[in-house]
Structure formats: structure tokens, C-alpha cells
Structure 1
């Protein structure tokens, strides 16, 4: 009987140590993510053609230092960011996250048959920053404020055009919202990113465009573009001298451009938390804070849960406005 008891005890002891070993082994594997492998950030805009791209590239060096690996920025533009976001949702390598902007939530109401399910295929990581938008027109257009622009558009229905950096982007959304609220008809011209659209606006090939204030301001100051109004309800910190659209007769007109990071739903919680922590730390780097401030980029940061709440609020907001404005994809 003593031998039998000893055998049962030894078996139980071996089982305990095996369980402990594999448990610790799994924990160690999880806690050492990214295990020396590079982390890829998919940006759904062309390289150098969006503020999201510049924000991601600005934080990447510090983020890489915290994680101890290289950060690879992979631009996958097209289809109003759907191509890039879909690539993020379908990534299975365990080392891919993706940048998103307002279009990520606009597309929920605007695009039929999205190839991914926002709530089932993706998870929030962090809301990094935001910027004000500005409505600018080509210098040759005979208008200097919003009242004059609306009057001119009403006298010339369908003869004016506005550019955007893709269907479903902030510029598209803001343009359609202005058309709806002002009762004007302006032709929408979508581009593959803000860069090409801005180039055509500067060349006079399109008449006007909503864009990220930091990118437009140098051209406004040089006289190559005329500013009509900014899109915060209060004056934009970067250019308080430019009147808001809200104070020019449209008190509820408000848009901004925000920039966040999401991950495939299969990425582990440990990895998500590490990416979140690394980006939060990068956003507090004095050089980045100074650079962003000078460019009118407001740092946000925070938890994945906080970004998740923001995403759901944005989906609800844009769904209501898309329905009210009868906004469609051109």
C-alpha cells in the first residue's frame, strides 16, 4: 500500500510540474512579444500623402526603441482606405497593426459589402492624435469668405468642383456636409490621397477642398491658396485668425481628422497592450510633442478601451450625417 500511495503521489507531482512548466513556457512566450521580430504598421494612404502617414513615421523610431525591434511602415492605399484596413484585418503573422483615420468609421455607413467586419475582425489599440480641417479655394476663384463662396456656387450650379483624398475620407464627408447644409451643388473629385488632391488644387485643376490644416497652412500663408474657414467649433489653435465655418452661419458644422491604430482581432492582448504602451511613450517624447504642436497636431493617447468608445461614437455620428446628407460614393 505504501508503494501504491507513493506511485499516485509521484504521478500527481509529475502532472503538476508538467502543467507548471507548460504554463510558464506559454507565459514567457507571450510576455516576450514581439520576440525580436519587426512590427509592421499598415497605412491605408500613399507614403507622404497624409497626416496619418507622417504621424506613424514620426512615432516609429521611439516605438521601435521601446519594443526593441524595427518598425516597418507599409503603405497600402486605395478604395477610401478599405484596401489597407482589410489587409490589417486579415493579417495573421502576429506582428501587424494598422493605421486608421475618420474614413474607418465613415465607411461603416458609406460602403456596402465591406470585406471586413469592423467589430469582429479588428480591435482598437490607441487614438494617437487629431487635427483641424480647413476649407481652402484656389486663388483665382472670386470669393473670400463662406458667404461669397455659397453665393457663387448657387449662381454656378455644378460648375465648381471640390477634391478629396478618397471616397469616405474626412474631405469627402465635409464637402458633402457643406453641400447639404448650404444647399449648393459642387462636383466631387476623389483622389488617392491628400497629396495628389492638394497638388491639383494648387494647380487650379479643382476649385476647392477640405484638408488637414497643418498641410494647407504653408500654402495659405504664401498666398497660393485662400482659406475660407476651419472646422472646429472654436478657432483652431494653429491658425486662430482663420474664421470657423461655424461662426459663418453654420453653428453645428464640425469636423476634424483623427489618427489611430487598430489590430487584427487575433493579436494577443499582451501584444496590443505593448503597442499601446510604446506609442503612448513615443507621443510624450519632447521632440515629437514640439514637432506636432508646431504642425497643429493635437496629441491624444490613452487606452484601447478609450479608443474603442471613440470608434463607436464616430460610427453613430457619421451614420446620422451620411443619412441626412444622402452622401454617396462617386
Structure 2
């Protein structure tokens, strides 16, 4: 069996047993793919097997978590980066460095690093991966659309699948069976309309904040392909040097941000994890009741109204592209 065949079989197997549902990982990779520079795409082709044809979507791996003993949502959300600790944050730094051409690792190590890095950055943007309560929600009972499950699995897969299904049903109603058959004929994945919906949100309602998403600190600068730069341009009158939305808001947080020093890698997961961890208090565990249907009512309506699932997928995609462009572009 050729090495490339072995890689694709192994990666596809691991992909389907991963906990942050494989659809979520494929969506973040699909979004990231659209924001890669031509040079990054060219370099990726050398790392991916020929069968992948430069497609990031095929390559994800096992998840990891990051947590703090002081984290207890919804009352208190807290996460810190400990360089000596083996967790999701450290893993992202490690695999970023392994992928970096400057470190002169051989092909197999860098190909493996690409797989893990794309997956781990995706995991970082599922809030329960950065919360310790009840094992990241795996030990929290949940009911979703009549099925008994866990809070973790609801956020990994159930919410995404429900949103995809609802959007596809809407598109079917207004586009008709002919267009649906046409899309299937051209081989688009079933989640492609959802990806396009997220990209449209990025171009419209999130346009004014999107440039802040890949920000790390002054030591890291990310670039994107020229055609997509317009989407990422921030309005200096609105932003200036202030971190907004998914950045660090308070001066205290900025002072505590460890990457003011020389960054450990071209990624900055400890910076990105702080506001994502806070979502556990603001959304994920807020109004959670283990024996209540969570696919409707106040819990679900808040998630749907704020588009938080779509936004996290979009941010993950942008950050994956940013890191890959900085390393390979």
C-alpha cells in the first residue's frame, strides 16, 4: 500500500470518530480553504497526498481540551495558558512549530502537523473544549430533538446539523427540486449551502469586525490572498488599536496576555481561548437544564438569534487560514 493511500485511509477514519463532529471540522476547513494565498495552496499540495488534490477538508484528527481548575460556568469562566502543561493550547503551539518550514522537519512530520493543527484550531472554537466542567460537557446530560445525548455532543454536532438541515429545507422550498438535484449532480457536500451562508454573513453583518479575528499581538502579522483582503479590511475609525468582540477587551486582560513576550509560535491560542471560554458562562451553560429539550425554547433561541455557532465556525476558518498563510504563504 502506498504511503499516500495509508494517510488518506487513516485520516478519514480518525475524522469520523472525532468528537467535535466531523461536519464542523469539514466546515472550518472549507472556510479556511477559501482564504489561503496561492503560495500557501501550492505548498499545501506538497504536504497533502495526491488524492486530496490540495483539499484541506480531508484532514482532521483527535481532539484535545484546555481547562483551568478555577473554571465553573455559568458562575465563573476562567482559562490560563501554562507552557509546561500538555493541553489543547500547547498542542496548537507545538504543531504550528512543527509545520513551520524554518524548523526543517521532514515531510512526514510536517504532514502530520498540518493534520493536527487544522483539527486543533477547530476544536478551540467549540467552547466546551476550553471548559473543565463535567469533562467539557461530556458528563452533562442533554435532550436534543427528542434524543438523549450530552451537552458536549449537542455543541459538537447536533446544533450544526440542525442548522444545516433547516437551511437546506429553506433552500429547497425557495429554490425547488431542480436546483437541489443540480447541486447534488455537481457533487457539492450537503453542508455547502451552509458554508455559503456563513461566508455571506462574513461579508455583511460581521464585515466590520472580521479583521480582528486573526489578530494575535504585534509580533505576529497575517496575510491573505488579494481577492479576499476587502472582506478583512477593518475601519480604523471603528477599531483603532482596540480589540473587539473576540479579542481581549479590558486592560487587565491585555496586561495578563502572555504573548506580549516573544510568541511561542505563529499561533496564539491562549489569546483566542479567553473570549471563547467566556461563552460557556454567556451561552453554553446559561439556562442549561439536563432534562429539558434544548432544541427549542429560550436556550436554543438565544443560540439561533446570536448566530454564535456560525460565527465560531467562521472565526475558526479565518484563523486556520491565517496561520497557514503565515507559515506557508
User: Same fold per TM (> 0.5)?
Assistant: no
- Comparing both structures, which one devotes a greater share of its residues to helix? 2
Higher strand share: 1
TM-score scaled by length of structure 1: 0.31
Which has the higher Rg, Structure 1 or Structure 2?
Answer: 1
Please give the TM-score of this superposition, normalised by the length of structure 2.
0.31
Higher relative contact order, structure no. (Cα contacts within 8 Å, ≥ 6 residues apart): 2
